[in-house]
Structure 1
Amino acid sequence: MENRVAVITGASSGIGFATAKLLAARGAKVAVLARRKDVLDELVNQIRAAGGEAMALAVDVTSQASVDAAAAAVEAAYGPADLVFNNAGVMLPGAIEERQIDQWEHQIDLNVTGVMRVISAFIPQLAANAAAGATVDLINTSSIAGQNIYPYFAVYSGTKAYVSHLTRHLRAELGSKNIRVSMIEPGITETELQGHWTFQGAKDWLAGAQQSMEFLQPQDIAEVVGFLAAQPKHVNLQQVVVMPTKQAT
């Protein structure tokens, strides 16, 4: 990772936070993007205290202008990015009959359109680095929910199915240009996402799951990101499913 320029969205908590620290510890210059600038600043302080290099950018991935401005700031500070971890997302389970349209739209805008906004902003930098012979990665965070069926998670699962299938198509399109495209599909991971749940059925399921299995931790997924990025340039792991040992589906 020495001298690589890594961009991480959704970096203010969970998987993004852990991945930023791991990549910086391995030598990357890390740009951390999220809405909560105060948390990002603390993350940057931690990285720098450990001898790494990082910058914090307050970004709203539901705004193309915000993401474009961040891309320009990264390039001005560090040069063009050669690793983008497209990780921002939200999970809001609920019964479809409750017609929580605002929650549906929020998940679609963040998990689907937000992913596309980040790709749009950073693909010129990734392409330029690939053309120059660098190792280049676009890594998208999907979910096992993109493959499997879970009551009350229909909209969230649909957004993650989009991310997974998008990744397959982009790998076919961009691989010939030496841009590696990967997705990580985690099972249940202990992050802030579950703290946003309001639907009681999902809360009950979560409480039961916590009694029956040990959840993945953000550091577990960060290690996968590091593994993907460390492969030889000609090796592209397209899809990595990471599950708690006791989670069957």
Structure 2
Amino acid sequence: MSTVNSLDGRVAVVTGASSGLGEATAELLAARGAKVAVLARRTDRLDGLVERVTAAGGTALALGVDVTDADSVHAAAARVQDELGTADLLFNNAGVMLAAQIGDVRADLWRRQVDVNISGLLNAVAAFVPQLRASAAERGVADLVNTSSIAAQNLFPTFEVYCGTKAFVTHYSRNLRAELGAQGVRVAVIEPGIVRTELQGHVTEPNAVEWLDETFKTLEVLEAADVAETVAHLAALPARVNLERVTIMPTAQAA
């Protein structure tokens, strides 16, 4: 039985689906009726996700993809169209968060964040926007949701490069909306505050680790499921409604 939140008939693609926001959102979209393609490098994690979705009566397709490899993303787009149908929802979520003192000159960490957070996002847009356009022309609406962060708007010492990549995601998304909105493709960017995911576990810079540890001890942070609900809500809105930018904060987080 359909509800106002139903996503029956939708074909959703989720990048960075092996954990965190991507994993939670993929499961929720499938539970709401969408057929879901889950993309990530860690295929062992994807297999478990597909098993859970299938056991709950949903449909999911696991695709091992590195978003920094444009050919890999385009090949995944072709498989989605062949096996699930034309995608009409892309949750562009793959990303990394790393910290370093500027004086340490960690160019490897800088490149990794630029490659995944910017180039990877652009690769997914390039691969799937043709399908989103086709879906919008057929059914009147399609959705592209990009994951940014409150880091796009705020100051976090040692996370300068991460903040810069997320500022790109936010501004790029708002500009992209100006082009795609007239074609029926809604573009939204979400900017979560502190969320409990695996991203924090990749941070090694001592001051950043100390700050994160203290934050998680003293603040009731967001859970991945909270962000997943937001993505599902965006996709279920009437075709005439586009929330272009959504900031999602823990109630007690000031900035």
Q: TM over 0.5, yes or no?
A: yes
TM-score range, shorter chain: over 0.9
Matches within 5 A, 1:156-235: 156-235=162-241
Q: Distance in 2 between matches of 1:16 and 1:191?
A: 10
Alignment size in residue pairs: 249
Q: Deviations over 1:6-50 (max 9, x none)?
A: 000000000000001100000000000000111101100000000
Contact 1:82–1:134, Cα closer than 8 Å, also in 2: no
- Gaps in structure 1 of 5+ consecutive residues: none
Q: Which moved more, 1:18-27 or 1:133-142?
A: 133-142
Paired amino acid for 2:228: A
Cα offset for 1:78? 1.2
Counterpart in the other structure of 1:8: 14
> CA RMSD for the aligned pairs?
0.6
Corresponding residue SS for 1:150: coil
Matches within 5 A, 1:49-68: 49-68=55-74
Counterpart in the other structure of 2:114: 108
Corresponding residue SS for 2:196: coil
Paired amino acid for 1:192: E
Contact 1:142–1:186, Cα closer than 8 Å, also in 2: yes
Paired amino acid for 2:169: V
Q: Deviations over 1:172-203 (max 9, x none)?
A: 11111110000110001010001111100101
Could you state the TM-score of these two structures normalised by the residue count of structure 2? 0.97
Paired amino acid for 1:234: R
Q: Distance in 2 between matches of 1:13 and 1:134?
A: 31
Cα offset for 1:134? 3.6
Paired amino acid for 1:121: A
Matches within 5 A, 1:63-102: 63-102=69-108
Counterpart in the other structure of 2:42: 36
Paired amino acid for 1:89: G
- Gaps in structure 2 of 5+ consecutive residues: 1-6
Q: Distance in 2 between matches of 1:3 and 1:133?
A: 11
Cα offset for 1:94? 1.2
Cα offset for 1:128? 0.8
Counterpart in the other structure of 1:151: 157
Corresponding residue SS for 1:132: helix
Cα offset for 1:131? 1.4
Contact 1:185–1:241, Cα closer than 8 Å, also in 2: yes
Paired amino acid for 2:155: I
Cα offset for 1:136? 0.3
Q: Distance in 1 between matches of 2:216 and 2:14?
A: 28
Q: Deviations over 1:99-139 (max 9, x none)?
A: 00000000000000100000000011001111123420000
Q: Runs of 4 or more off by more than 4 Å in structure 1?
A: none
Q: Distance in 2 between matches of 1:160 and 1:8?
A: 18
